[in-house]
Amino acid sequence: MHIPDGYISPATAGTMYALTVPFWYVASRRVRQALTQRTVPVLAVFAAFSFILQMFNVPLPGGTTGHAVGGTLLAIVLGPWAAVLGITVVLAIQALFFGDGGILALGANCFNMAVVLPLVGYFVYKVVSSGSEATSSRRLLAAVMGSYMAINVAAFFTALELGVQPHFFHTADGTPLYAPYGLNEALPAMMGGHLIIAGPIEALVTGLVFAYLQRSHSSLIMAEAPRKSEGKLWLLWGALALVAFATPLGLLASGTAWGEWASEELKGLGLGFIPRGLERFEGWWPAPVPDYGWPKMGAVIGYILSAFVGVALVAFLCWGVGRRLSRRGLPRGEPSLGGLPKDEG
């Protein structure tokens, strides 16, 4: 679902940044009022989980791959605006450090996965779970439904942004300058894989983690600052480390995510040409660890190392941003995590 540089025009990229910036502004204001020193580590661990989750590529129809995101889960635990900032940090680290996604396309990727996904997922979760207790099965159903719908809505926006490129940006003879496939190809390709495979996987992961939180860390899903469970966050970090060791399983899925092909891969697809925009912008950013691979290391060891480095970077940045925002917030008497009234259940 990551859009690389060269697949959308500079005009589209600028428009997507313009659409996303107001959400970043509102998120920083809302999080400043709701985040506390004791909930900053929660933001760090769940944002790091999202980073790890996105390293597990799964095969999709047509020889492509996809991945879960975890944005709805973060929104449920810390509120949708904290999720906007947390997933933004994840996407920024992926683009800047690992070359996953693009710098120019970061606004579009953040709009799709850091804005649309958590806001839609949280909205569905709140509607379905309204009036239910934190440990009820309806809460679990709400989390599953919200995560499934959110990732598919995000996939729809991604397909839309890629699919309109050939219509608006092409040469005089109609050759696309950026993304080579129109809406009639982008929408079925993106939505088919996410509705059938990536969406259910996102829902399954969200459901499993949410069920665990209901049993062991219920305060995290009760819109209140964690108290008893706060000291048990090391268990979540330990579980995250174990999952990081398993990330090489994501290498088993062959193929590239739809709309993320490199120039050589496009030639292999039989496209017959390379869009000029892709030739111009592909690889312009010198990511330190492109494609999560380290020099002189095998694929498996390099992928595991990238997982731990990514977790450290995401956690450090979330911790720093969260601490800064919480210090600048309003005087607090233990406000709710999402800036919302505390649940009665």
Q: Which amino acid is at 241?
A: A
Contact at 8 Å (CB) between 161 and 16? Answer: yes
Q: Is residue 93 a part of any domain in this protein?
A: yes
d(CA 130, CA 147): 16
Give me the residues paired with residue 66 across strands.
58
The string of pLDDT tens digits covering residues 278-315 is: 999 988 999 999 999 999 899 999 999 999 999 999 99
CATH at residue 269: 1.10.1760.20
d(CA 339, CA 130): 17
Which of 118, 134, 310 lies closest to 221 in space, CA to CA? 134
Contact at 8 Å (CB) between 65 and 100? Answer: no
Contact at 8 Å (CB) between 224 and 337? Answer: yes
d(CA 78, CA 43): 7
Q: Is residue 344 a part of any domain in this protein?
A: no
174 token code pair: 């109609």
Q: Is residue 316 a part of any domain in this protein?
A: yes
Neighbour count for residue 238 (Cβ, 10 Å): 10
Total structural domains within the chain: 1
Q: Is residue 345 a part of any domain in this protein?
A: no
Q: Is residue 335 a part of any domain in this protein?
A: no
pLDDT at 221: 78
Q: Is residue 16 a part of any domain in this protein?
A: yes
pTM of the model: 0.91
The mean pLDDT of 251-259, rounded to a whole number, is 86
pLDDT at 312: 97
Which of 277, 308, 319 lies closest to 98 in space, CA to CA? 308
Is pLDDT of 229 > 70? no
The string of pLDDT tens digits covering residues 120-174 is: 999 999 999 998 998 899 999 999 999 999 999 999 999 999 999 999 999 999 9
Q: Is residue 333 a part of any domain in this protein?
A: no
Q: Which domain holds residue 223?
A: 10-327
Is pLDDT of 227 > 70? no
Give 156's contacts (C-beta < 8 A, 6+ positions apart): 187, 190, 191
* Least confidently predicted of 30-39, 186-195, 196-205: 30-39
For residue 168, the SS3 value is: helix
d(CA 28, CA 338): 12
What are residue 252's phi and psi, to 5 degrees?
-70, -25
Give 315's contacts (C-beta < 8 A, 6+ positions apart): 44, 45, 47, 48
Is pLDDT of 93 > 90? yes
What are residue 307's phi and psi, to 5 degrees?
-60, -45
Q: Is residue 156 a part of any domain in this protein?
A: yes
More confident residue, 332 or 111: 111
Which residue spans within the chain are E strands per DSSP? 58-60, 64-66
> Position of tokens 């993106």?
190
Phi-psi region of 303 (alpha: psi -120 to 50; beta: other; left: phi over 0): alpha
